[in-house]
Amino acid sequence: MKAFTTIVPGHTNWSQKNKMKELFNEYVKSIETYIMFQIKQETARLTPELEAKGRSPIALAMGAPVAPPPELVYQKLIEALKIPQIHTYSTPKGENFYLEAIAKRMKNRFGVELDTKTEIFSLIGSKEGLANFIRALINPTTTDSEKDIILVPDPGYASYTQIIKTNGGKSCGIPLNKENKYMPDMNKVWQQLQNDGINTNKVKAMIINYPSNPLGATCSLEYLKHIVDFCKEKQIWLISDAAYCDIYFEENKRPHSVLEIEGAKDIAVEFYSFSKPYSMTGFRLGWVCGNADAINAFGRLKSTIDTGLFKALQKCAAEIINSKEGDDYIKQANLNFKNKQNIVVKGFRELGWEIKDEDIPDATFYIWLPIPPRYKTSQEFTQDLLKTSGIVVVPGSAFGNNGEGYFRLSAVSTDEHLQEVIDRMKKDGFHF
């Protein structure tokens, strides 16, 4: 520890510093800062220049709604802060009232029964939960042929592949495209992996994410059944990331929980977040539920890493999740997201993008569009958009091999900012 403190900038020479850097593990040495923070840094660097030419950055990269959380959250949080002993450690699993509130929500929203003692665990946001669950699965190795494999959606949430890599595993993409309606036949995917020389005996789990980041795609209950059957047959864990399950636009297309499928609990766990539905990204609150053995293994690991969520946060989360205010908030937020989607779709159509009605997402606040053909890569396009117009979006390549040629825009900003994006693009000569 003492040696570590000597490497702060200005307290060491280069040779010492390089030697110290070598002490980090191979996985950490091989990754870069997470894409969203790279984009943030780059935006901060360019901000003075952009402001000087009247192009202050408009952030449409992160999936972080700008609207404030429900008023009830603050009210309950303030009340909770006054409860005696609220400041003390919670447990990693979560307080009983938190777990009970989640069980009630899962029952009311999906008809899923959960045992609060064995089938639910609190999370410091679903990103943390996914990272630790993956860590609990992978036997780390630097030898490629021995690496455990986790199947991930491609394109998919950038964090999956990074987490798998930093834990000494390998990710293989499940190709999602218009042709397979973003619901590929997993038997064909498995066959293709074998044809590509992948040792499928090393596959330990697959991740699904419906509604999807970055595509906004949803899936049917029948498809979830196919996935459950497939994972059971192959004896692999199913990790369902349901972070966007409450952000949808039509009642008859309401996203499902994988746990609604009979027998899914034999092989599945599902991850949930307060971040997106209640605009509580900074609160860092979530939960995982499903198979008791998986929750137990995960819980043992997590209990050595953190000591759970601040009890006051659990209090306000438990209150909002089964309240009328919470449900009304989600309904209104979804109307607002739909309106934002309309502004963006209309604007990009005017700019020459061909967006068919059937390609407009039924869920999430993401818009996934092709880059104009004159650009060679998605990065080249997003850099140009940032440097010329101060519009911050994410290159499709960040989401996997199948993401190249596209970019993702988060329609989470104010309506005025979204309109400003379209106006700036028109003025600055951007078109498809």
Ligand X SMILES: Cc1ncc(COP(=O)(O)O)c(C=O)c1O
Q: Tell me if residue 408 falls in helix, strand or coil.
A: strand
- Least Å distance, CB 288 to ligand X, is 11
Among 55, 76, 105, 127, binds ligand X (CB under 6 A): 127
Alpha helices in 270-389 (DSSP H): 292-303, 311-321, 324-350, 378-389
Q: Tell me if residue 321 falls in helix, strand or coil.
A: helix
Site string for ligand X, 246-275 (x = CB under 6 A): ---------------------------x-x
Is residue 371 within 8 Å of 407, Cβ to Cβ? yes
Q: In whole angstroms, what separates CA 79 from the centre of its chain?
A: 31
Site for ligand X in 51-110 (CB under 6 A): 63
Tell me how crowded residue 190 is: count the other CB atoms within 10 A of its CB.
19
Task: Kindly state the number of chain residues that form the binding site for ligand X, as judged by CB under 6 A.
Answer: 13
| Cβ distance to ligand X smaller for residue 273 or 389 | 273
| Cβ distance to ligand X smaller for residue 215 or 422 | 215
Is residue 67 within 8 Å of 336, Cβ to Cβ? yes
Site for ligand X in 146-175 (CB under 6 A): 157
| Cβ distance to ligand X smaller for residue 116 or 364 | 364
Interacting span for ligand X (CB under 6 A) from 40-48, 81-89, 125-133, 176-184: 125-133
Among 57, 65, 69, 125, binds ligand X (CB under 6 A): 125
Compute the distance between CA of residue 356 and CA of residue 349 in angstroms, rounded to an integer: 10
| Cβ distance to ligand X smaller for residue 184 or 286 | 286
- The CB-side HSE value for 118 (13 A sphere, CA atoms) comes to 7
- Least Å distance, CB 125 to ligand X, is 3
The contacts of residue 382 (CB under 8 Å, 6+ apart) are 393, 394, 395, 407
Is residue 271 within 8 Å of 126, Cβ to Cβ? yes
| Cβ distance to ligand X smaller for residue 213 or 291 | 213
Site string for ligand X, 170-209 (x = CB under 6 A): ---------------------------------------x
Nearest to 278 by CA among 111, 68, 79: 68
Q: Tell me if residue 203 falls in helix, strand or coil.
A: strand
Site string for ligand X, 209-238 (x = CB under 6 A): x---x-------------------------
| Cβ distance to ligand X smaller for residue 399 or 430 | 399
- Least Å distance, CB 258 to ligand X, is 14
Site for ligand X in 331-390 (CB under 6 A): none
241 binds ligand X (CB under 6 A): yes
Q: Tell me the CA distances in angstroms from 399 to 113, 248, 272, 354, 383, one per residue in order.
A: 34, 22, 20, 22, 16
126 binds ligand X (CB under 6 A): yes
420 binds ligand X (CB under 6 A): no
**Helix pair 311-321, 96-110: axis angle to 10 deg:** 20
- The CB-side HSE value for 177 (13 A sphere, CA atoms) comes to 12
Is residue 155 within 8 Å of 403, Cβ to Cβ? yes
| Cβ distance to ligand X smaller for residue 158 or 172 | 158
The residues that touch ligand X, with contacts defined as CB under 6 A, are: 63, 125-127, 157, 209, 213, 241, 243, 273, 275, 281, 286
